[in-house]
A and B are shown apart, each in its own frame.
Chain A
């Protein structure tokens, strides 16, 4: 076990340095890059806290869609297996619906790390029936 600060706490410290001290001290195109770097540190801070649980949930959702509960493939393989399936002819409306529901949950998980709040917009007004 590593000593404190944790990865998340260190990344938060890096984000604070970039945003509060470096950004106000620089000019020009570098500003944009530093702003992006600060945001990446925030993303990684959330990732350090949230990823283990999200990965476990993603694997279980993918296994559910693929229909093999005791599948011991890792996450990347499971994801590739679903891609192969969706790219093939071997897909019916049920699998499409199950994939859609599972992928939406998986993507909401990714957004909770990459861009919290992005999924509050629901497109209701612009969806044609």
Chain B
């Protein structure tokens, strides 16, 4: 039996137990297969004849799981209940016996997720990019409505998000193979200009960006990849979304190459959020530094043999991009 047949049979067994009826699984396709998780598209036909178009998110190796599936699944539910376009959860299991690892199943949402194809769709439909950026603002405000008492008790909490972000990035910088004066200058600025800790913690998606959005001709359809969600400072999401890395050469459009910050703010405020510019700027610079340190970490993982890969090695030669972005973002502070 092939691996695809194993997955098909495993999904059918799991859903049969879940729904307590016979289930037929067909039309299997792999949407993405990373080292950490695999997304399998399929169709399930229930005993009564009803057909459902679904996606299974599978962690092939439970040992590298970032967050228990039940926690991620409950985050999807909480975000959706607050109005955010999180995929609709169908079932979740920590059991590895069905498809070789923990999994959850959601309703499938059609559309583009690959950034370059997203941007092509945007280009083909005047006004769509600005609409999507506004919808991103709405979705973020909806996510940020979710407070600490509405999430799973095991969802990671950052009681002092500013202090924790600084400590985290300092630790990353201390581990660099080759220290970067630009990163040190950026960390100096971040420490000197640290905003007060936020007065309330909210759900934070943690990786809200072009690449984790499903876009159609009608706009934003869903937000994916909730595995690094946590309770923290809501402006972290806005800063992360707007770093240059996610614009894919559409540099002038700050929100993922899709639209402007004014679009984002309009949606955020219309949906009841409070957009804090100073805090946003701090998190954008923090995000850029964090990603820069992350790229250096990928190169180090290649060099120390953890993951030998030409792609990881090449990340080391992208550090200069993040350094440039940081120096430009910091330039108002150091102008003569």
Taking beta carbons and an 8 Å cutoff, which residues of A are in contact with B?
32-33, 36-37, 39-40, 43, 76, 79-80, 82-83, 86-87, 91, 96-97, 99-101, 103-104, 107-108, 110-111, 114-115, 118-119, 121-123, 125-129
Contacts and interface: CB of A to CB of B under 8 A. Distances in A.
Contact of B324 (A86, A91, A107): A107
Contacts of A76: 178
Contacts of B310: 33, 36-37, 40
B328 A108 contact: no
Contacts of B182: 103, 107
Interface in B184-202: 184-185, 187-188
B114 interface: no
B180 interface: yes
A45 B310 CA distance: 17
A86 B185 contact: yes
B179 A79 contact: yes
A127 B331 contact: yes
A129 B309 CA distance: 42
B181 A101 contact: no
Nearest to A122: B328
Contacts, number: 99
A19 to B, nearest CB: 14
B317 A97 contact: no
- Interface of B: prevailing SS: helix
Contacts of B336: 97
Contacts of B311: 32-33, 36
A118 B324 contact: yes
A107 B320 contact: yes
Contact of A33 (B184, B309, B318): B309
B252 A125 contact: yes
B321 A118 contact: yes
Given A36-B310, A128-B332, A129-B332, A100 B184 contact: no
Contact of B181 (A39, A99, A119): A99
Nearest to A115: B321
Contact of B185 (A36, A103, A126): A103
4 smallest CB-CB distances across A and B, nearest first, come from A100-B334, A86-B184, A110-B320, A83-B179
B282 to A, nearest CB: 11
Contacts of A32: 311
15 contacts: A40-B314, A83-B179, A86-B181, A87-B184, A103-B323, A104-B331, A111-B321, A115-B317, A118-B320, A118-B321, A121-B251, A122-B328, A126-B242, A126-B261, A127-B331
Contacts of B329: 123, 127
A114 B251 contact: no
A114 B281 contact: no
B254 interface: yes
Contacts of A107: 182, 320, 323-324, 327
B180 A104 contact: no
B320 A104 contact: no
Contacts of A121: 244, 251-252
Contact of A99 (B179, B185, B331): B185
B262 to A, nearest CB: 10
B277 interface: yes
Interface string B151-186: 000000000000000000000000000111110110
A101 B328 CA distance: 10
A119 B314 contact: no
Contacts of A108: 324
Nearest to B183: A83
B40 to A, nearest CB: 16
B271 interface: no
B332 A111 contact: no
A33 B309 CA distance: 8
Contacts of A119: 324
B101 to A, nearest CB: 20
